[in-house]
């Protein structure tokens, strides 16, 4: 099985680069499934039902979120009716929506997608490790053909801990939220693919997707300033590509993908071919 997780989509430039490239990526990488974190897709803050529809039409199968999921209040009434739009599983009981989805793939295969959120330097919410552990007991590898965890968090230590916590039990743990792609993609000893952060899909001539002048001023002056505005230059698509073993559901390969914009391009299959002559 091959799937792609696109990092946080930030504003219009992030949406446009994903929508422009995804049909080609699905075709040339022979992707079975595409996940995208969409919590910053609506002008940098939140997501709307219209944007969900645009991403689905472009080839996204499941949209994950995080701490900005409720920034557009209209999504509160929508999320419960869309089984492909997830919010973190460790939000308190009674929160609208769901934190996981079991999706059917061609050939009778099933993929479990889990959206969880970290707690260090984040909102005070329920324990993500307990929530993930409970779901893995209900849907272990074997009962499903693949399991992806989007772990949305700030601290690299907490993300790494989730990777090792899930090692051997899921196909991949991919971090989101920091908007900067990390260089640590690897297959952990138990067979789980791991990357601390997939990066963002957006304009990298910015401060994590926001216009740089106002963002820098906040640090220089330490005074309240104007509301941050999303950067709208050319976007870069940042994602993590994972291929799993059909027999075990564990990872065979993981590689970053970067297309367009300011960052150095990286194409997964070329990199894997060079590493595996």
**pTM to 2 decimals?**
0.94
Calpha distance 27→258 (Å, rounded): 16
Which residue, 192, 13, 24, is CA-closest to 114? 192
Relative orientation angle of helices 11-28 and 49-58, to the nearest 10 degrees: 30
Q: Which two tokens mark 18? A: 């994903």
Q: Spell 172-211 as b/e; 16+ CB within 10 A means b.
A: bbbbbbbbebbeebebbeebbbbbbbbbbbbbbebbbbbb
Mean pLDDT by groups of 10 residues along the chain of 277 residues: 97 98 96 97 97 98 97 96 97 96 93 97 95 97 97 98 98 98 98 98 96 91 83 97 97 97 86 40
The model's pLDDT over 39-62, given as tens digits with 9 standing for 90+, comes to 999 999 999 999 999 999 999 999
Token pair recorded at residue 193: 């693919």
Catalytic residue among 21, 68, 100, 179: 68
Q: In 3-state terms, what secondary structure has residue 77?
A: helix
Task: State how far the Cα of 34 lies from the Cα of 189, in Å rounded to an integer.
Answer: 25
34 in Cβ contact with 257 (< 8 Å):
no
Q: Is 68 a catalytic residue?
A: yes
Architecture of domain 2-275: 4-Layer Sandwich (3.60)
Longest Cα separation, the chain = 58
Q: Which two tokens stand for residue 146?
A: 């693949």
Count of Cβ atoms closer than 10 Å to residue 257 Cβ? 25
Domain range annotation of the chain: 2-275
Q: What pLDDT score was predicted for residue 271?
A: 45
The CA–CA distances, whole Å, from 74 to 49, 66, 71, 81, 168 equal 8, 16, 9, 13, 39
pLDDT of residue 276: 38
């Amino acid at each position: 099985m091959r799937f792609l997780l696109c990092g946080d989509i930030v504003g219009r430039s992030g949406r446009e680069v994903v929508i422009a490239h995804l049909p080609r990526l699905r075709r040339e990488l022979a992707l079975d499934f595409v996940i995208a974190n969409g919590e910053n897709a609506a002008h940098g803050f939140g997501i709307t039902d219209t944007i969900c529809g645009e991403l689905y039409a472009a080839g996204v199968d499941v949209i994950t979120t995080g701490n900005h999921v409720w920034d557009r209040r209209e999504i509160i009434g929508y999320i419960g009716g869309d089984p492909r739009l997830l919010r973190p599983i460790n939000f308190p009981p009674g929160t609208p929506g769901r934190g996981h989805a079991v999706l059917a793939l061609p050939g009778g295969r099933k993929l479990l997608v889990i959206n969880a959120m970290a707690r260090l330097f984040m909102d005070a919410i329920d324990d993500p490790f307990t929530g993930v552990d409970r779901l893995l007991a209900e849907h272990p590898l074997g009962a499903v053909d693949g399991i992806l965890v989007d772990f949305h968090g700030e601290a690299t230590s907490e993300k790494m801990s989730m990777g090792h916590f899930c090692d051997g039990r899921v196909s991949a743990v991919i971090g989101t939220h920091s908007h900067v792609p990390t260089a640590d993609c690897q297959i952990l000893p138990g067979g789980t693919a791991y990357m601390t952060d997939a990066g963002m899909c957006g304009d990298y001539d910015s401060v994590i997707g926001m216009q740089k002048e106002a963002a820098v001023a906040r640090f220089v002056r330490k005074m309240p300033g104007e509301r941050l505005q999303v950067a709208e230059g050319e976007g870069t698509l940042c994602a993590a590509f994972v291929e799993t073993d059909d027999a075990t559901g564990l990872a065979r390969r993981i590689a970053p993908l970067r297309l367009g914009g300011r960052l150095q391009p990286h194409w997964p299959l070329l990199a894997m071919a060079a590493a595996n002559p």
